[in-house]
Amino acid sequence: MADGHAEVLVVSDFSLAIAGEEKLAHLSFTLRAGERVALIGASGCGKSLTAGALIGLLPAGAQWHGSLRLNGHEVAGLHPARRHAPQRAAAIFQDSASALNPLVTVGKQLMMVPADLPGDAAARAALLLRDVGFDDPAAILPRYPAQLSGGQRQRVCIALALACRHRLVVADEPTTALDLATQQHVVEALSRLSAQPSPPALLFITHDIALAAHLCQRALVMVQGRIVEQGAFEQLTRYPQHPYTRELVEAARRAGEAITPPPPAAAPVRALG
């Protein structure tokens, strides 16, 4: 990892309620520069609410307590429009079609992102597309989103996240609507984030433990708004402690999916509930 294992995101005892009903309960975890960490759980467990809290998009009337520190700045409840650059996170969502402007070419959308990098804007846009796996960026730059496949659009969204140069990237179910082969292309593009000169931390939100294991070093397992287990993927998949984690691992193995990632392993798994 880069930046001396610097802490990018520190979540401390964060809880959130909507209309008096608790949706997230006492979340605590840390992401460091260059880490790829998966937040895994079933639909409705609170994964997307967690993503919304991190990037500053919460439902009206949401109430919270605890702390979300991004690059050392408290950002809990702070809307994106009120955040300065160190307080912002890049987001990649499930529906790439709605994330991109349908009336603007890919090249122009990439060039709209403010950049403090030297060089021509078009050349930077082409380099970003190459960084996410496009062999012929010049052919992609003049196209409109509707002229791209779902996987190509999602890779453009990843390129936009790279262009922002934020130190945290939150990818909320970015592969759910894609076929298996295209999912792999998107995962490969996300893995390239760690190859950047100053790599961001990545929080990869998914319900697919096998897919997450191909990308991430660590996992956070969420059940009903609580993180019930967290640790290195290698140990978590070999020695799952919580019943839900065991269920995920066993289901993936029955389906013949490989879920054990390559080393290195991190800290031992902790059962939290």
Q: What is the DSSP string of 150-211?
A: HHHHHHHHHHHHHHHT-SEEEEESTTTTS-HHHHHHHHHHHHGGGGSSSPPEEEEEES-HHH
3-89+166-271 sits in which CATH class? alpha beta
Please report the DSSP string for 16-38 in residue order: EEETTEEEEEEEEEEEETT-EEE
The pLDDT of residue 2 is 43
The closest of 183, 219, 226, 184 to 204, measured between CA atoms, is 219
> From the CB of residue 118, how many other CB atoms can be counted at a distance below 10 Å?
6
| pLDDT tens, residue by residue, 87-140 | 889 999 888 888 899 999 999 999 887 655 556 788 888 988 988 889 899 999
CATH 3.40.50.300 residue window(s) in the chain: 3-89+166-271
Spatial CB neighbours of 99, under 8 Å, sequence gap ≥ 6: 92, 93, 153, 157
pLDDT of residue 265: 33
Q: Which helix (H) or strand (E) holds 75?
A: none
- Which pLDDT score, from 0 to 100, does residue 195 have? 76
- The candidate with the shortest Cα–Cα distance to 194, out of 21, 3, 36, is 36
CA distance 193 to 265: 19
User: Looking at residue 261, what DSSP letter applies?
Assistant: P
User: What residues of the chain score a pLDDT lower than 50?
Assistant: 1-2, 4, 262-273
Please report the pLDDT score of residue 147 as a whole number. 95
